[in-house]
């Protein structure tokens, strides 16, 4: 009987003790973020949707359709066809199927021309059909500087450029 009461009291006491610790957290700042309204600042390396980078002067795609990325991709989701010979070789069409992509960064690492980047900060890719996740060359055509593995800094060299605000995403790119 006494043992039972003692255990009962012990249980109550540990509940009170735990309550004491947790109570403190009522008065501290929340660690959570109210997502759609507030957005976290992504680190530069955050792997998000691909972009085909451009030469900043001529605004031409750097890609030479060498097919390296398509061959290394484990998920087999990059498809492209090139046209032209030698230095003038450029992709005719270039498609990445983001339904299959594993965001492994292998295609970016293997690219010898620094022509593809995943440091874009575009992560809100939701769509209403599967085809909406298949991105073609126009959609992935960069509109300015994007950090890449070889050049994680801005071209001026003035520190790390934060990725463009997420969610400016697809629409802005298309316009």
Which residues would be at the binding site for ligand SF4 (CB under 6 A)?
A: 63-69, 72-75, 77-78, 80, 96, 101-107, 111, 113, 115-116
- Closest CA relative to residue 149, chosen from 105, 96, 90: 105
CA distance 141 to 174: 9
Q: What's the gap between Cα 104 and its chain centre? A: 11
Q: Is 18 in the site for another protein (CB under 8 A)?
A: yes
Residue 61 pairs in a beta bridge with: 54
Among 77, 80, 106, 134, binds another protein (CB under 8 A): 106
Least spacing, CB of residue 157 vs ligand SF4, in Å: 24
Is 22 a residue that touches another protein (CB under 8 A)? yes
Whether the Cβ atoms of residue 40 and residue 124 lie closer than 8 Å to each other: no
Measured distance CA(5)–CA(10) in Å, rounded: 8
**Which residue in 66, 95, 100, 104 binds another protein (CB under 8 A)?**
104
Contacts to another protein by CB under 8 A? 7, 10-11, 13-15, 17-18, 21-22, 31, 42-47, 72-75, 102-106, 109-110, 118-119, 149
């Amino acid at each position: 009987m006494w043992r039972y009461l003692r255990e009962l009291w012990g249980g109550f006491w540990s509940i009170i003790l735990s309550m004491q610790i947790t109570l403190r957290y009522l008065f501290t700042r929340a660690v959570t973020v109210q997502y759609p309204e507030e957005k976290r600042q992504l680190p530069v390396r955050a792997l998000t949707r691909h972009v085909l980078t451009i030469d900043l002067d001529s605004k031409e795609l750097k890609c030479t359709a060498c097919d390296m990325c398509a061959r290394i991709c484990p998920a087999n989701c990059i498809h492209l066809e090139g046209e032209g010979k030698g230095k003038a070789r450029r992709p005719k069409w270039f498609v990445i199927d983001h339904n299959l992509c594993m965001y492994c960064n292998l295609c970016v690492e293997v690219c010898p021309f620094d022509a593809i980047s995943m440091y874009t900060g575009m992560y809100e890719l939701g769509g209403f059909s599967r085809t909406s996740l298949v991105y073609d060359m126009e959609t992935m055509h960069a509109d300015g500087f994007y950090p890449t593995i070889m050049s994680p800094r801005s071209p001026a060299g003035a520190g790390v450029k934060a990725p463009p605000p997420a969610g400016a995403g697809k629409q802005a790119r298309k316009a």
